[in-house]
Structure 1
Amino acid sequence: MTLTVTDNDGATDSDQATVTVNAVGGGGGSFTTLFDDFESGWGNWNDGGSDCARYSGSRSYGGSYSIRIRDNSGTASSMTTDAFDASGVSSIDVEFFFYSYSMENGEDFWLQYSSNGGSTWTTVASWARGTHFNNNTFYTATVSINTGNSSNAKVRFRCDASANADHIYIDDVTIRASAGARLAGNSLVELGSIPGSDALAGIDEIAVPQNVTLGQNYPNPFNPRTSIPYEISTDTHVTLNIYDLSGRLVRSLVDEYLAPGKYSVNWNGVDNKGQSVESGVYIYHLTTNEHSITRTMTLLK
């Protein structure tokens, strides 16, 4: 067996790591293991849209950050990997940690696999509130997936709830080749609630921001995508909209009830009609029940 480890940021606590392992998975080929803890960004994963966001707070299992998915808006309620090569192995294991907040009884989320780069998806596992998990509790799960020896594979988590207040937080995701001597099968293990919290609130006071803030987008100027960071200090309804200099609404990025925490949302220079906008200066405006903050950013094409 040949083992090659690459730490993408040169540190031991990297949020993204790749490991190439030869002669595993029963196929005699190789597979690059993917690991992401989201501490420094999205890593190997992609933001599905308005119902997916990178979150910082006590609902993250490891470190500060995780990915929050909500509601049931299809791709917008999903987090999806980049395409990866699984042609050298017959099966992979997906291991991850998750936390549920305010999911109603029977609401669920799915793990899906695509062997054709995301053109079609197959649900390989699903977990429902009240049957498989309860709110305000951490779990770890492992799912084995038959790859079909695809060279253009993708994996995604998709929420299938009913409202913006129904949240699943995904963290510390590892995708690896299944060991050749075993077929892992699926597992789900309860890990307990947030230490020192009650079963309903679950808020780590150290992690809760003290103020509502709207950060400068990065990069700025940008093309074609930028990230907008913001922090919420109390449970509140939040909107984050983009306007042109005439005050016309260009894009609604956030419109939901949020728990305290640090968030970021991406904008790809597309308006609410799915059309690319022109180069120029744009206004982005955050509102909560008690605050209103405005900044500007520049799109250069």
Structure 2
Amino acid sequence: MNRILLLVTLLTVVLCITSFAQLNIAIDGQKDDFYKTLTGPDDGHLWIPSAAGNDNGIPDDDWDLSAYLWSAWDETYFYVYEEVSDERVNQNNATNWQNDCLEIKIDPDPYNADGTVWATRLTALDSADVPENVWNGIDNLFAEAWATTERATRADYFKAETDSGYVLELRLKWDWIGTTLKGPVVPEAGTDFGLAYMNHDNDDAAREGSIEWATVLVDAVWNNCGNHGTVILLEGNKLQYLAENIRTGEAYPNPELWIPPGASSVSDRVAVARDYALHQNYPNPFNPATTIDYHVGLDAHVQIGVYNLRGQLIDMLVDRQQPPGTYSTQWRGIDLNGNDVPSGVYLVRMVSGPFERTRKMTLVR
């Protein structure tokens, strides 16, 4: 009997170690091997394209601003690694959120009606890279509504420019993530909490647009927990992203928006871009029709769809296999049923193998 009890105890210890293994991911700007095992939102990997722009403004395309994001957790930390495509990396504003940066908004307890949001931010550049008069615009994980007096240090984040934009890496202690009335988050499998990611884009002197992972793509995730998505901690240090809000029940209508395409990194996408292209429509603005030229680099299935700003499919222009070459298609301002759509800004999105790109179009009736 004692041997059986000992065996059960040992198995319990092994299971606990397996479920809550300390990852000890190095915060060095290099993609950890653990991240390379992740495949999509169901295990902690997100693609945040320009089509996920919000009411701050939508980036011109995925090269103007888009991001791959990987995440993980253990008993001590919430880890995030992000590769950002940004044609111009800027930090020239004394207000942190007006610069290129990643913002993380967390609702530690989405079942609590209190609306307080825990927030932190990591800007793309550091003091050595920007003029002294905009040092106030640098944010290295200073957080609002800290649960403890402890603060992040240089060991908790990494940032660097790359050929195609910048890379950010960070870790947040679970003990930090809480407000006066909510939290901190309990790091165990099955725990869920609200969250929104937002990257800002400064191409001149201030923020011109943002991309986002949330339930409702608006800037107001900073003060409205009802716009957050849901994160569930899973066994094996993985987590799941659900584009729906626990409290309101609202879900983003097109969760496929955040599924990573075939290319596994920003650098891969830059290489693919040499063989593919989705050109800006012309004329733009337009009425009643506009032309879209595109180039296919490989013999592959091509989809070109028109979407509204909520990510809902309006019309499918191309959905077929095509050999390499240059092509054109037209959109006549109609939906899938042939009905005229109202004036406004629409997104045309091309997906073919590892290539994905989005452009904005303006219809004026």
**1 or 2, which has the higher helix percentage?**
2
| Structure with the larger strand share | 1
Query: Of the two, which has the highest radius of gyration?
Result: 2
Would you call these one fold, judging by a TM-score over 0.5? no
Q: TM-score, normalised by structure 2?
A: 0.33
Q: TM-score, normalised by structure 1?
A: 0.38
